[in-house]
Amino acid sequence: MIRSVVRGFGASLPKRVMTNREIEEKVDTSDEWIVQRTGIRQRYIAGEGETTASLGEGAARAALANAGLTPADIDVIIVATSTPDNTFPATAVNIQNRLGMHHGAAFDLQAVCSGFVFAVTTADAYIRGGLAKRVLVIGAETFSRILDWNDRTTCVLFGDGAGALILEAQEGSGTTADRGVLTAQLRSDGAHKEKLFVDGGPSTTGTVGHLRMEGREVFKHAVGMITDVIEAAFEATGTTADDLDWLVPHQANRRIIDGSAKKLGIPLEKVVITVDLHGNTSAASIPLALNVAASDGRIKKGDLVLLEAMGGGFTWGSVLLRW
Ligand SMILES: CC(C)(COP(=O)(O)OP(=O)(O)OC[C@H]1O[C@@H](n2cnc3c(N)ncnc32)[C@H](O)[C@@H]1OP(=O)(O)O)[C@@H](O)C(=O)NCCC(=O)NCCS
């Protein structure tokens, strides 16, 4: 059977680092409060000329170089983002053009912080359905541009950045020994919309709006949703937490990551954590974390890697893949 195998990875971050100390100068908060409640120590913030498309292009170029491919080798680009450069066209066509690519198809996908998991799942369906041989999957965000910088309950949490994977059709045997995506589990429930949303949009206010969140409510639901889709991935593949080499969670909050790992019996030595460096970069957080752990040699070819995320909507999902 056809499997969607990781052929390359890459990432791109804005030039500017913003530490918790700098945020102390903007709102009534402290480095100690932020670290203790979230694990975040710094985040990257896009400056003039840096946009979701420019960061996405950087991640795409890095992934192409890592794979030893050129844009001519790509059939489809999927960009997971909630912070597009424009309402339309899609950031994906912007990135396609920046790459000098004028063939194939490019589109955006919006599932907020679960966006990368939804995008990998979509790419896998395209590849296994025979619609594409190679898909460039990008998670790219500039959440700093939709934050209310006077709201200390949200502005301390998020950051900007982009990461990318190239998935390629390769023949597999149909067992969990195959490299590539082994299962994907996606969920959403719009009943939770008001708990995490942006209070603007083209068809409502005609403005971009700002991120609003009931942090405690999100926290309350997070661990249950994450364990739901991880257990579903184990069940679908007959694997267990013991089989995992790496858990690469969406990097929203250190306490959510620790709580989920504990509930699932996954030791923290097997969990990739980058929330301290990047903050919550929404759809970019998983590919940014993958880039760190694959670049430093932790994630190796053949490793069993579990991705999971939850976010606005709510949306939540997991992807189990062999690297
Ligand atoms: C946001 C979050 C860190 C807040 O932590 P919490 O322990 O739930 O804190 P609370 O919201 O109950 O607020 C506790 C107190 O800290 C205060 N506080 C909130 N933000 C603060 C900040 N940045 N600095 C200092 N104090 C802050 C509150 O005003 C409150 O004060 P009060 O007790 O005087 O009213 C936590 O709820 C969380 O992580 N939620 C999930 C968010 C998330 O990951 N969202 C993205 C999902 S993709």
**pLDDT mean over 152-170:** 98
What pLDDT is recorded for position 288? Answer: 99
Query: What is the per-residue pLDDT for 23?
Result: 97
Q: Fold match between 2-171 and 180-322?
A: yes
Please tell me the distance from the alpha carbon of residue 7 to that of residue 137, in angstroms, as a whole number: 11
pLDDT tens digits along 221-233: 999 999 999 999 9
| Cβ neighbourhood burial of 12 (10 Å; 0-12, 13-18, 19+) | buried
| pLDDT confidence bin for 246, thresholds 50/70/90 | very high
The domain limits of the chain are 2-171, 180-322
Query: In this structure, what DSSP letter does residue 269 have?
Result: G
- Does residue 215 have its Cβ closer than 6 Å to ligand 1? yes
Kind and range of the H or E run holding 231? helix 215-237
Question: Tens of pLDDT along 42-51?
Answer: 999 999 999 9
Mutate to test the pocket of ligand 1, among 197, 219, 260 (most ligand atoms within 8 A of CB): 219
Q: What is the 3-state secondary structure (H, E, C) of 52-88?
A: HHHHHHHHHHHHHHHHCCCHHHCCEEEEECCCCCCCC
Q: How does pLDDT run across 8-21, given as a tens digit for each residue?
A: 999 999 999 999 99
Residue ID of nearest Cα to ligand 1 atom 8: 216
**CA distance linking residue 61 with residue 99, whole number of Å:** 8
Separation CA 237–CA 176 (nearest Å): 7
Model pLDDT, residue 188: 98
> Could you tell me which residues come within 8 angstroms of residue 229 by beta carbon, excluding any fewer than 6 positions away?
185, 186, 187, 308, 316, 317, 318
Ligand 1 and 223: CB distance under 6 A? no
Q: How confident is the model at residue 254 (pLDDT cuts 50, 70, 90)?
A: very high
Work out the average pLDDT over 142-166: 98
Atom number of ligand 1 nearest to Cα 216: 37
Burial class (CB in 10 A: 0-12, 13-18, 19+), 203: exposed
- Report the CATH architecture of 2-171: 3-Layer(aba) Sandwich (3.40)
Q: Is 270 in the pocket of ligand 1 (CB under 6 A)?
A: no
The gap between the terminal CA atoms of the chain, to the nearest Å, is 17
- Tell me the CA–centroid distance for residue 91 and ligand 1, in Å: 32
Q: What is the pLDDT of residue 166?
A: 99
What is d(CA 176, CA 152) in angstroms, rounded to the nearest whole number? 45
- For residue range 182-206, what is the model confidence (pLDDT) as tens digits? 999 999 999 999 999 999 999 999 9
Rounded to the nearest angstrom, the distance between the alpha carbon of 34 and the centre of ligand 1 is 9
Q: How confident is the model over 100-113, as pLDDT tens digits?
A: 999 999 999 999 99
Confidence band of 24 (pLDDT split at 50, 70, 90): very high
Report the catalytic residues: 113, 250, 280
Q: Which residues contact 235 (CB under 8 A, 6 or more apart)?
A: none
For residue 204, the model assigns a pLDDT of 98
Average pLDDT over residues 292-314: 98
Q: Which CATH number applies to 180-322?
A: 3.40.47.10
Asked if residue 170 has its Cβ within 6 Å of ligand 1, the reply is no
Q: Is 51 in the pocket of ligand 1 (CB under 6 A)?
A: no
Chain center to CA of 30: 27
CB of 165 closer than 8 Å to CB of 308? no
